[in-house]
Structure 1
């Protein structure tokens, strides 16, 4: 059978749960409220103005940021109990004595949660498409932002999976997963604010090549998903320059603008994909050894 048995069993159990439609309903209600206030209400006026057309761009930015926050909030909890929950139910040992290896167990648990998150991201697309009525953002940009959100879900889910394989209890794994996700955001952001090209002026930066601008930027900038999302939206919309300037400093923001916002967005997406893959492989190493350690203690 080609399909992962853990994936098939877990996906069937999740889709039959009452929590699945409830989460989808809550996601949809939250995004519908945001889309209605920021994008649809201006269309109900008697005429369209330049300021009302700007609302479409603002609505797109708010929607994508809200979706990013929801995914970061939900994804770690979805996988934090995947392996630890099997330990608590004392079913992990039965899985390990079958032909299903630790890699397939961890991969199946990850793909099941990631598949559901991908389903939520696809369900969010109609809300994002509401801004197409303004013509402020093209359809390719919507799929690009969806790819960023999918990689975010992959990275956050892999953190939860790693903590689930590392800790025995679901509560401990969930707390550790959220601490790690929060630490990644705070540490990379502080690394940007405490270093960089803040003392450079426009004429200094304009004389530099793109390679020199990249070398000038703080390295932690390329590992910060929130700033990568803002750079992606800035590249798509031509807005948010002032927001980035306040967050990373004037010199860093100008160097980033000259080097290209797409550079930072692509680097952050590559980092999330690589880090998630490494964490997934590490998770497989912590599934079976803990069983052997418990037997030795007995």
Structure 2
């Protein structure tokens, strides 16, 4: 629950307006969370021993300020009472591709949990350090076991609620992927949901689909400080995407390897131009 006392030291607690160079909505600033402590600039983290040796997986991690979610406001809608997945949940970070639950506490700069809500953060200038790939900063969660082989007519589903807090670092044209139906091979994702620097939500199918081309489009506008429900169905061949109960897109992308769902923040080839933060609540997979 959010700390409600007005006597917290200003040196320990800050809201969006004090901790980010670009502000989100007034609602997000004042009501959706409280931040205790501060976070150093990326260069300071990079210069420390936390992620060394660079360009290899490391499990050292780096702790960050505490995000105290206002669960009463964030955890609403049909998924509000679903607890965070406990078994076989992992996170893919800037320093390691698969951190398991018993090590999450080492990585609180990027990932935290509060009630039924997951907190994902990236900070300005951050980049991938787990291999030689440039940029590609990310903090995503996934299940190491909830994967499946493509099978026509056998649908798998992902459901949950996103609340966007800071999106200024999700620079166009790549933006931030906040959800992807992804296979083991980098070329095997079928559909993504992306967030741009203005807080707009995009439906993004694979570019290579000849029947629709690169038909990406905005499905929700100005979502900073706001929440929305997502449901995605995928059988390894077909997929469907729903936002707040409305079908916003569907398509086909036949895959040959195992498929799983990933959610959080993934910047890809772009630079992180400012801080990014979002929450997910009540994620379920079946």
TM range (shorter): under 0.3
Give the TM-score normalised by structure 2: 0.27
Task: Tell me which protein shows more strand as a share of its residues.
Answer: 2
Between structure 1 and structure 2, the one with the greater Rg is 1
Give the TM-score normalised by structure 1: 0.26
Task: Tell me which protein shows more helix as a share of its residues.
Answer: 1
